[in-house]
Amino acid sequence: MTRRFSRPVRVLVVDDSAIVRQILAKELATDPDIEVVGTAPDPFVARDKIVRLKPDVLTLDIEMPRMDGLTFLRKLMKHHPMPVVVLSSLAPEGSENALQALRLGAVEVMSKPGGPYSVEEVVFQLKDKIKAAALADVRRLATTAGGEGQEEELPPLPPLRTTVKIVAIGASTGGTEAIRRIIRRFPAGGPPTLIVQHMPEMFTRSFASGLDSISEMDVREARDGDHLRPGLALLAPGNKHMVLRRSGARYYVRVKDGPMVHHQRPSVDVLFHSVARYAGPNAVGVILTGMGEDGAEGLKAMHDAGAFTIAQDRDTCVVYGMPRAAVELGAVDLQLPLDAIPEAVFRALTREGEGGGAGGGSHPSPRA
């Protein structure tokens, strides 16, 4: 088996439960690409072990004694930025904390074992998230953590005057902040937008609510049968696939079960393939930061169907995995910095008779 890393990813497990620490340390150690260098019951012990053991990645609980995980994460990203995977419960109030963790700079958030999730399933996903975190650009995490930054200086886009077209966006690691920076610039009558973000069940509803609070568009978690309209953005629910369908001149979505694709449900590929089939050249596809290849083949299908396709560039990605896979597949018309993507989407939606989204002619060459 080919090793993904030149050496194992060094992990420190921080959790107040001795049983959780024991289980995670034991199960993570079965992966040759991961080395658990230590565990800690609270942030104070973790602080000392970070200095002494120099882990590559931290797994972090939220509810802990002496100092809660969010306070520790805020301090960590300010003074010693490093990749962090947060483990949280699936309770609604826990999901709000998890989303706050992403705003503070956590690379990934996932649920602890319990409810519908077995220990085996959680550990399997955690291994992938730890590896994604190890590849994350910590500089980007540190500069965006806990603040608005330069996004406040970017004006909203002007109202869109065009026939109804579809925007499809897919993201994974680092995607919550990337999606937020895009959606907040769409105007009230912005294009019908479908979003897949790799995120656990229960977290997507809170994420959609957070997007809605900072966007002029209506943003919510998708429901089966929802019809698309200008000014509405739908987020795929956790643990469900979302696909586009068409009835006459009206678009709607189906939210359904199905096998994982690229170990993901919802899958970006599943959405993009459906958009290629039912919207074709009346769509713009956007693939954002994330580890792996989910979305690359679907974006290629959109590109081949006449849609205009955009990838986030390497310099602004937390993990340049999904965009790179799409570029290497020949699926991308333009690679752009994150903050240039909203304007590019609107230019593509209003173009007539040109290559890409509205014309179906030749596509411009990808830009590195």
The three-state DSSP-derived secondary structure of the chain is CCCCCCCCEEEEEECCCHHHHHHHHHHHCCCCCEEEEEEECCHHHHHHHHHHHCCCEEEEECCCCCCCHHHHHHHHHHHCCCCEEEEECCCHHHHHHHHHHHHHCCCEEEECCECCECHHHHHHHHHHHHHHHHCCCHHHHHHHCCCCHHHHHCCCCCCCCCCCCEEEEEECCCHHHHHHHHHCCCCCCCCCEEEEECCCCCHHHHHHHHHHHHCCCEEEECCCCCECCCCEEEECCCCCEEEEEEECCEEEEEEECCCCECCECCCHHHHHHHHHHHCHHHEEEEECCECCCCCHHHHHHHHHCCCEEEEECHHHCCCECHHHHHHHCCCCCEEECHHHHHHHHHHHHHCCCCECCCCCECCCCCCC
pLDDT of 180 over the 90 cut = yes
- Contacts of residue 318, defined as CB under 8 A and 6 or more positions apart, other chains included, come to 107, 136, 137, 140, 141, 173, 174, 178, 289
What gap in Å lies between CA 107 and CA 54, rounded to an integer? Answer: 18
Q: What is the predicted pLDDT for the residue at 366?
A: 45
Most confident of 139-153, 225-239, 340-354: 225-239
Q: Is 206 exposed, middle or buried (0-12, 13-18, 19+ CB in 10 A)?
A: buried
Q: What length is written for the chain? A: 368
Question: What CA–CA distance (Å, rounded) separates 68 from 72?
Answer: 6
Q: In this predicted structure, what is the pLDDT of residue 355? A: 41
Average of per-residue pLDDT values in the chain: 87
Stretch 190-201: mean pLDDT, rounded?
Answer: 93
β pairing state of 84-88 and 57-61: parallel
Residues annotated as catalytic (active site), given as ranges: 172, 198, 294
Cβ(364)–Cβ(356) below 8 Å = yes
Residues in CB range of 211: below 8 A, 6 or more apart: 179, 180, 183, 184, 219, 233, 235
pLDDT band at residue 65 under the 50/70/90 scheme: confident
Give Cβ neighbours of residue 295 (< 8 Å, ≥ 6 apart).
170, 196, 267, 268, 269, 272, 287, 322, 325, 326
Domains and CATH numbers, the chain: 9-144 (3.40.50.2300), 159-350 (3.40.50.180)
Whether the predicted pLDDT of 2 surpasses 50 = no
Q: How many CB atoms lie within 10 A of CB 179?
A: 26
* pLDDT single digits (tens) 66-97: 888 899 999 999 899 999 999 877 555 557 78
Phi/psi for 27 (5° steps) reads -75, -40
Per-residue pLDDT of 261-310, as tens digits, reads 999 999 999 999 999 999 999 999 999 999 999 999 999 999 999 999 99
Tokens linked to 326 = 């799409």
Q: What is the pLDDT of residues 212-262, one digit of tens each?
A: 999 999 999 999 999 999 999 999 999 999 999 998 878 999 999 999 999
Q: Are 105 and 66 in contact (CB under 8 A)?
A: no
- Residue 241 in contact with residue 270, Cβ under 8 Å? yes
Q: What is the mean pLDDT of residues 142-157?
A: 58
pLDDT at 356: 42
Q: What is the pLDDT of residues 302-344, one digit of tens each?
A: 999 999 999 999 999 999 999 999 999 999 999 999 999 999 9
> Which of the four pLDDT bands, split at 50, 70 and 90, describes residue 39?
very high
Question: What integer pLDDT is reported at residue 368 of this predicted model?
Answer: 41
